[in-house]
Amino acid sequence: EVQLVESGGGLIQPGGSLRLSCAASGFFVSRNYMSWVRQAPGKGLEWVSVIYRDGSTYYADSVKGRFTISRDDSKNTLYLQMNTLRAEDTATYYCARNRYSGSYYVDLDYWGQGILVTVSS
Amino acid sequence: DIQMTQSPPSLSASVGDRVTITCRASQNIISSLNWYQQKPGKAPTVLIYAASTLQSGVPSRFSGTGSGTDFTLTISNLQPEDFATYYCQQSYSTPVLTFGQGTKLEIK
């Protein structure tokens, strides 16, 4: 059974850093493309970042230069290192597996339960 | 950047009704459009991918149509468990994925 479990969230002051983890089971993170998606309280979904099988990484403009996505294949775990956090980064963060059905066809077929990050003084 | 515009933002309907939610892309995205359902406090789940392919396990009362810039999600014979928020998401600009603003479907 495929499962994704996030951890590492919490309350952090503006300017601080936090690392989120997403432990996967039922499949190999290294053989898949993996994304982070966030949702501010009461708001919609925002794609944050993706890591490809070959290790290539991409980011939303809103987090570029501040967030880093990575993975540990030995632990089958995805990470999101978040630096220089701002109040507007407050959100529930989800990790998700990318499913490819063709060159332009990507959906997110498995999601974690989400972890709340609150940036506030 | 590709923008996704969903309408309506909210919708009231009754059990047994048929409802349609639309999603418009700011440019041609062929059929690279997905639909998700999200219930309060839960992660989204994919309903429809590639505009019209029903995800395994999703009831057949859900259907998706469209290509290019205009897409629709139709739910026939609404059931109590269908009251949720629905999001469209484009993947034409992969690796960047863009979601619509969401449509909250409420019980009338």
CB contact under 8 A, B91 and A107: yes
For the stretch A39-92, pLDDT in tens is 999 999 999 999 999 999 999 999 999 999 999 999 999 999 999 999 999 999
CB contact under 8 A, B99 and A46: yes
Instruction: Identify the weakest region by mean pLDDT among A85-89, A101-105, B62-66.
Output: A101-105
Decide the pairing of beta strands B10-13 and B103-107: parallel
Computed over every residue of chain A, the mean pLDDT equals: 97
* pLDDT level of residue A102 (50, 70, 90 thresholds): confident
- Rounded to a whole number of angstroms, the distance from the CA of B56 to the nearest CA of chain A is 10
pLDDT of res. A77: 98
pLDDT at residue A5 is higher than 90: yes
- Rounded to a whole number of angstroms, the distance from the CA of A91 to the nearest CA of chain B is 12
A61-79: b (≥16 Cβ within 10 Å) or e: eebeeebbbebeeeebbbb
pLDDT of res. A101: 86
> What is the distance between the alpha carbons of residues A86 and A92, in angstroms, rounded to a whole number?
14
pLDDT of res. B32: 97
What is the three-class DSSP state of A116? strand
CB contact under 8 A, B100 and A44: yes
pLDDT of res. A103: 83
Give me the mean pLDDT over the A11-30 stretch. Answer: 98
Computed over every residue of chain B, the mean pLDDT equals: 97
